[in-house]
Amino acid sequence: MTHPKGTEAGPSEDRDAEGAPGAPGTPATGLTSSQVAERIARGEVNDVPVRSSRSTADIVRANVFTRFNAIIGVLFLIILVVGPIQDGLFGFVIIANTGIGIIQELRAKRTLDSLAVIGESRPTVRRDGAKVGIPTGEIVLGELVELAPGDKCPVDGEVTEADGLEIDESLLTGEADPVVKQPGDRILSGSFVVAGSGAFTATKVGKEAYAAQLAEEASRFTLVHSELRSGISQILKYITWMMVPAAIGLVLSQLVVQKHDVSEAIRRMVAGIVPMVPEGLVLLTSVAFAIGVVRLGRKHCLVQELPAIEGLARVDTVCLDKTGTLTEGGMDVRELRPLGQPEPDDRAPYERVLAALGASDQHPNASLRAIADAYPSERGAGLRLTATLPFSSARKYSGATFVDDGASESQGRSWLLGAPDVLLAAGEEALAEVADLDAQGLRVLLLAEARTDLGLDDPRIAEDAKPAALLVLEQRLRPDASETLAYFAEQDVRAKVISGDNAVSVGAVAGELGLPGADSPVDARKLPDDEEERGRAIEDGAVFGRVTPQQKRDMVGSLQSRGRHVAMTGDGVNDVLALKDADIGVSMGSGSEATKAVAQIVLLNNSFATLPSVVAEGRRVIGNIERVANLFLTKTVYSVLLALLVILWQVPYPFLPRHLTLLSSLTIGIPAFFLALAPNKERAKPHFVRRVMRYAIPAGLVAGTATFCSYLFARSQYGGAEALSAETSAATLTLFLIAMWVLAIIARPYTWWRIGLVLTMGVAFVVVLVTPFLQEFFALKLVGTTVPWTAVGISVVAGVALEFVWRLVGRKFPA
């Protein structure tokens, strides 16, 4: 095959007489401790850091240097110049909010970093003749690195040992077919082993290695595409466009029309502009995500990409790999059934072969481990291994050739062990027996004798294999799998089991766990060729067997093309391609390094039961952000409307910055913080912007119109030097009551703490109105009874309108 341009991994210069990178004399024992120390001293070490989160500097920069912090910062500096300091309270609120954001993200960073250490890849290398696991960052040039199925190649190198070694480079090159590697072949970092085993000598490490950043990028705290974030960014973009003309219009109206002095005009302009900025919404989104990471971290769930919390909450289809997800990794041998030979004593020759097969693979899969446990290597004494064929998900079988001690290699016998429906021809009598066992949820392997005139890697070797015996294995079901599947069913999330095992067997296991539709398993080999028909079959089916790795990937893509948000769980190399293409990839902590590298979420405790917690956390984040977004954007809408009405009516702007800071804190900022962190089990829904704006716009229009009417009425009632202060107080009372009504609507359904939250905000405003010091500080004083009670009446009418809008929106745009 060809490698991408510029990725040649040729040997580097020979630096030592022995064990040099790429040198023919590199011993099988690996480097010595002194050689490792010399290379480290020369800087020839794989020093590309694998970080699970952004650096502290990045977090501070991301929270401080934002577009809206810049806008608010400039307005704050202006107020510091024109005074008084009370009108600059919004600046201190922004400083506090930014500090909270930084602290929460630093907490999330510490959680991610500690979890990353637990789940960190530790390749096996040979040093001083011994095998040792070391962190990826400690590999040096010339290191002898061992490879086993599922291992991800951490650096570039040259193969020195190969035993049926097959490498998948699809994540690097896009080529789906595994590549058979022989000694002397090059290996690229970022590729992974799908079959066989071997070892390679590191020829390029650190930043020189091809795809050196792959592992770093795969496990780094990232802010990838998120509907929530992109929706908020879209809203903020529109607000930015409105702010400049509004600011110019307000200044001109206050200077030219109202004849205010420059300082007063600027204060009123700042008062009109600041509330347009929903700065707290951006903060709360980051805080909610960060707290979600911390909460999930306590459950040993590593979220490698932050918006994955949101993504899993939007998922409506979960594709599950059976082995390692619904079942535990281990299996037990239940029975050995010779074919065509009824005598019990006839099992002995096959048990001997199975014992030799179990001992032949240095990196056995779950099936071979069960065989090795049931048939110890001593029972295979006298059989000498001459050739092996490691198990491959694509082939569905493994093989080995043995020779009796003292016999020549020409007298060897080849054996295959794998899927009966792959190794047996259609119509074979044994298939009926296999089907009966599969229906019981048992796993069945066929031991068959193969032709010796063909190499084990010859595709034709399985065609004329002679069936010898059936090996029946029992799988260990995860005790929590049934409850987890039930949870997904309750939450209207469709679960689909996609496995490489026999479809009937997989269906039996899924049925035992209570999965709906498990009684109609589908053999993936019989899926229709027509794309539309195949898509419908995948959409309707619940259990699929005999699925190849490429088919898993295609099935995920088919579901996505039909509008599904797909999560894929798995732990083996055969799941990697599907995990990478799925909207959300979930890997078990005990899974292969390749699966953990491409997954967005890693369940370090290997518990499938953790998934509901991740889904629930995502729903809490999204549901609550949508809830509080209504508060922030309602404020934005009524602020824009008030600015426009002031310009058109040519009246003084009714508020000073301190008034709106008080209102925003009591009706939005403080309550939103608690609401954003509250439990929420509502299923995430698409079209975030449309869903939020369909209530925020009419609610903001009602609030702005009612407030301006109250303000105009107050202007008609008051006169004299103190008139503006009395008019502002009436308008502030009106806007507070309406904003509290919006808060009361958004806080539903009520719980004791939500009722307490709303009442506390109301009491806080009353305290401001009745406390002389606070009255003076906030320039608020209600004058007379007519105007204040009229303001209350206008607020009640506006509240009724808000209730009507809420119900109308709910009927016209149902959830």
DSSP codes, 367-414: HHHHHHHHS-GGGGTTEEEEEEE---TTT-EEEEEEEETTS-GGG-EE
Whole-angstrom distance, CA of residue 222 vs CA of residue 566: 20
Whole-angstrom distance, CA of residue 203 vs CA of residue 14: 10
* Residue 28 DSSP class: T
Question: Is-contact 666 268, C-beta < 8 A?
Answer: no
pLDDT at position 745, please? 94
β-bridge partners, 496: 319
Question: Is-contact 789 782, C-beta < 8 A?
Answer: no
C-alpha closest to that of 591 among 321, 369, 278, 359: 321
Across 127-141, 271-285, 340-354, 677-691, the highest mean pLDDT is recorded for 127-141
Checking if the pLDDT of 2 tops 50, the result is: no
Whole-angstrom distance, CA of residue 80 vs CA of residue 98: 20
- Omega before residue 154 within 30° of 0, cis: no
C-alpha closest to that of 26 among 110, 127, 97, 109: 127
SS3 state of residue 107: helix
C-alpha closest to that of 769 among 687, 662, 644: 662
pLDDT at position 119, please? 57
Reading phi first (left if > 0) and then psi (alpha if -120 to 50, else beta), residue 180 is in: beta
Give pLDDT tens digits for 631-673.
988 998 998 899 889 888 888 888 888 888 899 889 998 898 8
pTM: 0.67
- Omega before residue 84 within 30° of 0, cis: yes
Checking if the pLDDT of 222 tops 60, the result is: no
Q: State what percent of residues in the chain have pLDDT above 90.
A: 17
Out of 87, 151, 168, 321, which one is annotated catalytic?
321
The full set of domain ranges for the chain reads: 327-477, 687-815
Nearest 5°: the CA angle 489, 495, 501 is 140
Whole-angstrom distance, CA of residue 263 vs CA of residue 248: 15
Across 378-392, 671-685, 722-736, the highest mean pLDDT is recorded for 722-736
Binned at pLDDT 50, 70 and 90, residue 220 comes out as very low
Question: Is-contact 411 373, C-beta < 8 A?
Answer: no
Domain boundaries 327-477, CATH class:
alpha beta
Whole-angstrom distance, CA of residue 154 vs CA of residue 717: 78
- How far apart, in Å, do the first and last CA atoms of the chain sit? 52
Nearest 5°: the CA angle 585, 480, 557 is 25
Q: Give 3-state DSSP helix, strand, coil % of the chain, rounded to 5.
A: 55, 15, 30
Whole-angstrom distance, CA of residue 145 vs CA of residue 492: 46
Binned at pLDDT 50, 70 and 90, residue 159 comes out as very high
Give pLDDT tens digits for 575-584.
877 888 888 8
What single letter denotes the amino acid at residue 385? L
What single letter denotes the amino acid at residue 591? G
Question: Is-contact 50 215, C-beta < 8 A?
Answer: yes
Average pLDDT over the chain reads: 81
Question: Is-contact 571 128, C-beta < 8 A?
Answer: no
C-alpha closest to that of 206 among 349, 88, 42: 42
Whole-angstrom distance, CA of residue 135 vs CA of residue 150: 17
What single letter denotes the amino acid at residue 692? V
Whole-angstrom distance, CA of residue 438 vs CA of residue 431: 10
pLDDT at position 18, please? 37
Q: Which residues, at least 6 apart from 150, have a Cβ–Cβ distance to it below 8 Å?
A: 192, 193, 572, 573, 591, 592, 593, 594, 595
pLDDT at position 115, please? 63
Q: State what percent of residues in the chain have pLDDT above 70.
A: 87
Largest CA distance in the chain: 119
Per-residue pLDDT averaged across 474-494, rounded?
85
pLDDT at position 433, please? 87
* Residue 153 DSSP class: P
Per-residue pLDDT averaged across 606-619, rounded?
81
Whole-angstrom distance, CA of residue 540 vs CA of residue 563: 14
Give pLDDT tens digits for 6-23.
333 333 333 333 333 333
* Residue 254 DSSP class: I
Whole-angstrom distance, CA of residue 251 vs CA of residue 541: 64
Give pLDDT tens digits for 328-359.
767 888 888 888 765 555 788 888 888 888 88
Give pLDDT tens digits for 532-544.
899 999 999 999 9
Within its chain, how far is the Cα of 714 from the centroid?
A: 54
Q: Which residues, at least 6 apart from 488, have a Cβ–Cβ distance to it below 8 Å?
A: 318, 494, 495, 612
Enter the tokens of residue 481. 């799998």
Checking if the pLDDT of 711 tops 90, the result is: yes
Question: Is-contact 780 768, C-beta < 8 A?
Answer: yes
Neighbours of 620 (CB within 10 A): 24
pLDDT at position 160, please? 92
494-498 and 543-545 strand pairing: parallel
Whole-angstrom distance, CA of residue 69 vs CA of residue 102: 14
397-404 and 566-570 strand pairing: unpaired
Per-residue pLDDT averaged across 414-421, rounded?
89
Q: H helices of 654-771, where?
A: 657-664, 670-676, 688-717, 723-746, 752-770
Checking if the pLDDT of 216 tops 60, the result is: no
Per-residue pLDDT averaged across 768-789, rounded?
90
Nearest 5°: the CA angle 386, 389, 390 is 125
Please classify residue 428 by burial: count the beta carbons closer than 10 Å to its beta carbon, then call 0-12 exposed, 13-18 middle and 19+ buried: middle
Checking if the pLDDT of 555 tops 90, the result is: yes
pLDDT at position 787, please? 92
Question: Is-contact 334 476, C-beta < 8 A?
Answer: no
Binned at pLDDT 50, 70 and 90, residue 144 comes out as very high
Whole-angstrom distance, CA of residue 505 vs CA of residue 500: 11
Question: Is-contact 293 302, C-beta < 8 A?
Answer: no
Residues in the chain: 815
Checking if the pLDDT of 454 tops 80, the result is: yes
Q: 621-634: b or e for each residue (b if 16 or more CB lie within 10 Å)?
A: bbbbbbbbbbbbbb
Enter the tokens of residue 80. 């510091």
For helices 89-118 and 657-664, the axis angle rounded to 10 degrees is 40
What stretch of H or E contains 160? strand 156-168
Q: Which residues, at least 6 apart from 809, have a Cβ–Cβ distance to it below 8 Å?
A: 694, 695, 698
The region of weakest confidence among 73-82, 260-269, 623-632, 764-773 is 260-269
Question: Is-contact 636 278, C-beta < 8 A?
Answer: yes
Whole-angstrom distance, CA of residue 66 vs CA of residue 72: 10
pLDDT at position 765, please? 95
Place of tokens 């195949």: 534
Q: Which residues, at least 6 apart from 104, have a Cβ–Cβ distance to it below 8 Å?
A: 286, 287, 290, 291
What stretch of H or E contains 444? strand 443-450
Q: Is 321 a catalytic residue?
A: yes
Enter the tokens of residue 755. 């009722």
Question: Is-contact 575 393, C-beta < 8 A?
Answer: no
pLDDT at position 4, please? 37
pLDDT at position 648, please? 86
